[in-house]
Structure 1
Amino acid sequence: MRHRVPVALAALTLLFAAACGTGGEPVDQGAEATLPATPPAAELDLDATANVRLVLEPTSLNTFTTAGVALDQVLLDNVYQGLVGIDTNQNGKIVPRLATSWDIAPDGLSYTFHLVSNARFHDGSPLTAADAAWSLQQQIAPGTKSVKASGFSSVREVSAPDPATVLVTLTERDTDLLWNLTQRGGIVYKQGTDFATLDGVANGSGPFTLAGWNRGASLSLARNENYWGDKAKVAEVVFHYIKEANTANNAQETGQTDVQTGADPTLLQPFTGDSGFTVLKGNTTDEFTLAFNGAQAPFTDPRVRHAIRQAIDKNAIVSAVGAGTRIGSPVPPQDPWYEDLTAIDAHDPGSARTLLAEAGFGDGLALTLDVPSIYPSAISDVLVSNLKEVGVTLTVRPVEFQNWLTKVYTNKDFQLSLVDHAEARDLDNYTKPTYYFGYDDAGVRDLFARARTAASDTERDELLRQATRRIAEAAAADWLFVAQTTTVVRAGVYGVPQHETSTRFDVSGLAIAARK
């Protein structure tokens, strides 16, 4: 769940891939499969349509006001671009996009971006520094409705000294600025865009245009023939929203789809050992989180929170879903400040029973768990079994995701809740007392604020490690595992993203071999 966006946990994809994690590390399953290099253009079908299975459909296409990484997944990099982007194959390395380069002042209080010279919007109009400056100004404007606005609170002013230069001036150092610019808040819109219209139209600058949205079924992109960079190698990409795993498998086996993202790792038998398919395994930022309602009893008692954490066998959960890595905190291994904290509140049913007795629940405790129905019941089954062992009776209440958003996220009407916090670098959810799980620690807020204004990345990373450990030691929630994604690719398909596929699925390199 990206920390700048309310309800950005709408990724909710079934990303149970790769190895089962034990001791904070994934099990070694040998060499990681990769796709062969893309052949020369003469060997490709440049008029091909690529069919891709995704899981969760966006609720809207309004990138300015609508939260949810299901939207980022299809539109970021493909339809919309920012000054900078990330390379998901290099643990989120920040790379140029509409800016060819940038300079940071020695005091860290200004950033100067140098734009590409020939970028255009899909309507054919030139993209200039004035557009980029205007777009960022909308993020910081008083009363802005942007879901990413809080990520730019350090920005004092944005200007365009000339058509190819953007100057961002800050009120204080901000080690998050470049990262936030790689996300949706950094999208460059055409100056004067009416954001209220974005649900039905998109005027981006990316390698694809929005061709159509068949709500409830699919979303289509068409190659931008006037793209300023390297042209896409397929004429069209159709994203098919198929929630059910067996149905998705059937679509991939029968050729209805060329790429199946979020494949169920327990249902890979049709594809493994078959030269007609490659199974890619990649990392994600999908932290499956058991949230406590920290504003209500019994979770106001830290002994109850620690007891529940100690009661749960994370290895059993990972085994049940077929994939994942234990993390022990809300930080995935690819973040620079990651520390293996799985030893904190490790599985210990005896200690859990003792803590519950000390908290006054020696005779038992009844709790409810609200969980979006898209998740496999295997997770809840393990939770019910583990908690029963320590005297906790857990009633599971599956709900549609939209109902979850209202009941749990907005109204905070829950005791326990399970959800996939999918967005990258979302640690500052734990700095917000009004956030849905109600964790309130001034010490964590102080560490996070100091990290944001740190003089170096090294200093930032150490401060965030301290904040993360403090969050874990307080049992602010329980982090069951971070998912790993499995993608099944048909032979003859190239350039398919392997990592972070639930938060952005860049199809600019997708290619399909010509039939011989």
Structure 2
Amino acid sequence: MFRRNRRLAVISALAATAVILSACAGSPEPVVETSKGEPDLNATLSVGLVLEPSNLDIRHTSGAAIEQILIDNVYEGLVTRSQDNTIEPRLASDYEVSDDGLTYTFTLNPDLTFHSGTALTSADVAASYEAVRTDATLQGNAEFASVASIAAPDAATVVITLTEPNQNFLFTLTGPAGLVFQTGDTTDLQTAENGTGPFTLENWSKGSTITFARYDDYWGEPAKVAEVVFEYIPDFTAGVNAALDGSLDVLTAVDPNLAPQLEDSGDFVLTTGRTTDKATLAFNNAKAPLDDARVREALRLAIDHEGLIEAVGAGETLYGPIPELDPGYEDLADVAPYDPERAKELLAEAGQKDLELTLTIPSFYGTTVPQVLVSDFAKVGVTLEVDAVEFPTWLEDVYTNKDYELSFVLHVEPRDFGNFANPDYYFSYDNPEVQSLYAEALAETDEEASAELLAKAARLVSEDHAADWLYNGATITAVSPLVAGFPEDSINSRINLAGVTKTAE
């Protein structure tokens, strides 16, 4: 067995996070180090966010908007993940995984309590996870398909047994599926909570703010601020104005085009953090002419990725399906470098002259990306028509019915390479070798060996030109000099606020 000692994020999620295009997680580093003053333990921290959750029932509702604020702050699981997506113990003080990858044994920290004051024991963990395993309406049910049993041999121990090894299982436990709830609790989770985290829900003024209060009886180190107010401001300009007029201590999801206003004011420090956001140009691999790899490759070679990123204002190039923060990442720039002349040759070889294609895109993404694609494709003789639709229409036409040629969506979920190993996914990409490699990667108990298999599969996907990855999104955050410890990476999916401090003005 190996032992890990305690060391102190579905398609509907796209709808909940897609607007965070230029938008902290479970680890205290990297963080924004600004204020050097004495922390004010009675301070209120105001944080500007873009998209408000539709409800607070994280067990039944998917989407980054709900996970962003609730996980680690209000609810906790046995394990969590840091900003760079490494897995760390949380409610568990440590855990062991058997050599065959089938048995997970967790030891709970002492003195765990729910916000109701009730002690948390292994029975609560077992009941929470058994519900996920057996109830198809709960988040993570599909990811628990390989769970054979969940046992609580004593009050401080949880043993989970799988039917087959699953390299992603621990990571699944860092999401909604791994959260622990009080057995028999009748709290209406849509509007209230009964978690174990360092904050409690104090108030929700729908359409405006959500307020957290420090939970003084927290089992771990108490939060460093007395209160957190999340201000929901869907308009990017309005968010900047609110920051500049002093209403906000932190503004997330800063529009890159508006960032200079905040930086030039001298009132904020701006950070650019990494994410697992994959700005994906989807090809319908089963529909002519996109069923021809030469056409798909030509379209990729026609795109000036550096120029597109400059137009967007933030991000890094990404030439494959796995971003830097996920296992299996490899720089695949050699696969599809910018080469419009070669693109023209490939189109000619494929017998495609005066090719006309349609890009179906959710309307909330704006016009920057489509405009760049229209321009780049025109240079190689491809006419691109842009069809901007409402998101429900996109879900119906593109995601469900696969009635499209090209599409653009920001895929934000970490470790979602499995989409390219699923021929029924809306990409309609069917490569048995990729599917086999992905299955091997999941079954591999050694993390490094699993990552190598994923990298091999990802290169095949990129060499097949199954899609194009326009860029790896970045998150820009403006932080007041009075604030220290605010997370920097992955904050569009997790904002762990327990270690954030604010000094008096």
Runs of 4 or more, structure 1, over 6 Å off, are: none
Segments of structure 2 that go 5 or more residues without pairing to the other structure are: 1-8, 24-29
Query: Residue in 1 aligned with 2:288?
Result: 297
Native 8 Å contact 1:7 1:409 kept in 2: no
- Structure-2 change in CA distance of 1:365 and 1:167 (3 Å): same
Question: What displacement does 1:154 show?
Answer: 2.3
Query: Residue in 2 aligned with 1:498?
Result: 488
Query: Residue in 1 aligned with 2:143?
Result: 151
Aligned equivalent of 1:8, options 1, 13, 23: 13
Matches within 5 A, 1:468-507: 468-507=458-497
Query: Residue in 1 aligned with 2:4?
Result: none
In the alignment, the residues of structure 2 paired with residue 189 and residue 297 of structure 1 have an alpha-carbon distance, to the nearest angstrom, of 49
Aligned length: 490
In the alignment, the residues of structure 2 paired with residue 51 and residue 400 of structure 1 have an alpha-carbon distance, to the nearest angstrom, of 31
- Structure-2 change in CA distance of 1:94 and 1:260 (3 Å): same
In the alignment, the residues of structure 1 paired with residue 222 and residue 504 of structure 2 have an alpha-carbon distance, to the nearest angstrom, of 17
Query: Residue in 1 aligned with 2:6?
Result: none
Query: Residue in 1 aligned with 2:182?
Result: 190
- Structure-2 change in CA distance of 1:453 and 1:33 (3 Å): closer
Structure 1 counterpart of 2:82, one-letter code:
D
Aligned equivalent of 1:333, options 317, 324, 339: 324
Aligned equivalent of 1:267, options 251, 258, 272: 258
In the alignment, the residues of structure 1 paired with residue 395 and residue 36 of structure 2 have an alpha-carbon distance, to the nearest angstrom, of 41
Native 8 Å contact 1:309 1:478 kept in 2: yes
Question: What displacement does 1:449 show?
Answer: 0.9
Query: Residue in 2 aligned with 1:35?
Result: 33
Query: Residue in 1 aligned with 2:499?
Result: 509
Question: What displacement does 1:329 show?
Answer: 0.7
Query: Residue in 2 aligned with 1:94?
Result: 87
Question: What displacement does 1:273 show?
Answer: 5.7
Native 8 Å contact 1:275 1:491 kept in 2: no
Matches within 5 A, 1:142-221: 144-192=136-184, 197-221=188-212
Does residue 226 (structure 1) correspond to residue 217 (structure 2)? The answer is yes
Native 8 Å contact 1:33 1:281 kept in 2: no
Native 8 Å contact 1:121 1:190 kept in 2: yes
Structure 1 counterpart of 2:93, one-letter code:
T
Native 8 Å contact 1:15 1:263 kept in 2: no
In the alignment, the residues of structure 1 paired with residue 158 and residue 31 of structure 2 have an alpha-carbon distance, to the nearest angstrom, of 41
In the alignment, the residues of structure 1 paired with residue 390 and residue 251 of structure 2 have an alpha-carbon distance, to the nearest angstrom, of 23
Does residue 431 (structure 1) correspond to residue 421 (structure 2)? The answer is yes
Q: TM-score, normalised by structure 1?
A: 0.90
Per-residue Cα deviation, 1:453-498 (whole angstroms, up to 9, x for no partner):
1131121011111110111111111100101211101121122111
**Stretch moving more, 415-424 or 220-229:** 220-229
Query: Residue in 1 aligned with 2:97?
Result: 104
Question: What displacement does 1:272 show?
Answer: 2.7
Question: What displacement does 1:112 show?
Answer: 0.7
- Structure-2 change in CA distance of 1:38 and 1:446 (3 Å): farther
Query: Residue in 2 aligned with 1:77?
Result: 72
Question: What displacement does 1:98 show?
Answer: 0.4
Question: What displacement does 1:317 show?
Answer: 0.6
Question: What displacement does 1:194 show?
Answer: 6.5
- Structure-2 change in CA distance of 1:297 and 1:220 (3 Å): farther
In the alignment, the residues of structure 2 paired with residue 121 and residue 333 of structure 1 have an alpha-carbon distance, to the nearest angstrom, of 36
Query: Residue in 1 aligned with 2:245?
Result: 254
Does residue 122 (structure 1) correspond to residue 103 (structure 2)? The answer is no
Per-residue Cα deviation, 1:43-67 (whole angstroms, up to 9, x for no partner):
3333322111112222332212222
In the alignment, the residues of structure 2 paired with residue 465 and residue 378 of structure 1 have an alpha-carbon distance, to the nearest angstrom, of 31
In the alignment, the residues of structure 2 paired with residue 296 and residue 182 of structure 1 have an alpha-carbon distance, to the nearest angstrom, of 37
Does residue 315 (structure 1) correspond to residue 315 (structure 2)? The answer is no
In the alignment, the residues of structure 1 paired with residue 393 and residue 234 of structure 2 have an alpha-carbon distance, to the nearest angstrom, of 17
- Structure-2 change in CA distance of 1:295 and 1:190 (3 Å): farther
Per-residue Cα deviation, 1:412-446 (whole angstroms, up to 9, x for no partner):
33322111111111111112222222222221111
Per-residue Cα deviation, 1:109-167 (whole angstroms, up to 9, x for no partner):
211100011111122211110111111112221x5222322222222111100111000
Query: Residue in 2 aligned with 1:415?
Result: 405
- SS of the aligned residue for 2:398 comes to helix
Supply the RMSD in Å over aligned alpha carbons.
2.1
Query: Residue in 2 aligned with 1:243?
Result: 234
Per-residue Cα deviation, 1:261-300 (whole angstroms, up to 9, x for no partner):
1112232223336553211221111111111222322222
Aligned equivalent of 1:48, options 22, 32, 43: 43
- SS of the aligned residue for 1:180 comes to helix
Native 8 Å contact 2:32 2:485 kept in 1: no
In the alignment, the residues of structure 2 paired with residue 247 and residue 403 of structure 1 have an alpha-carbon distance, to the nearest angstrom, of 28
Native 8 Å contact 2:274 2:474 kept in 1: yes
Structure 1 counterpart of 2:79, one-letter code:
V
Query: Residue in 1 aligned with 2:26?
Result: none
Segments of structure 1 that go 5 or more residues without pairing to the other structure are: 18-31
- SS of the aligned residue for 2:88 comes to strand
In the alignment, the residues of structure 2 paired with residue 410 and residue 13 of structure 1 have an alpha-carbon distance, to the nearest angstrom, of 21
Identity of aligned residues (%): 44
Structure 1 counterpart of 2:418, one-letter code:
D
Per-residue Cα deviation, 1:202-234 (whole angstroms, up to 9, x for no partner):
221111122333333332222223222122222
Q: TM-score, normalised by structure 2?
A: 0.92
- Structure-2 change in CA distance of 1:334 and 1:308 (3 Å): same
**Stretch moving more, 442-451 or 170-179:** 170-179
Aligned equivalent of 2:276, options 272, 282, 285: 285
In the alignment, the residues of structure 1 paired with residue 163 and residue 363 of structure 2 have an alpha-carbon distance, to the nearest angstrom, of 44
Question: What displacement does 1:402 show?
Answer: 4.1
In the alignment, the residues of structure 2 paired with residue 433 and residue 7 of structure 1 have an alpha-carbon distance, to the nearest angstrom, of 19
In the alignment, the residues of structure 1 paired with residue 266 and residue 379 of structure 2 have an alpha-carbon distance, to the nearest angstrom, of 45
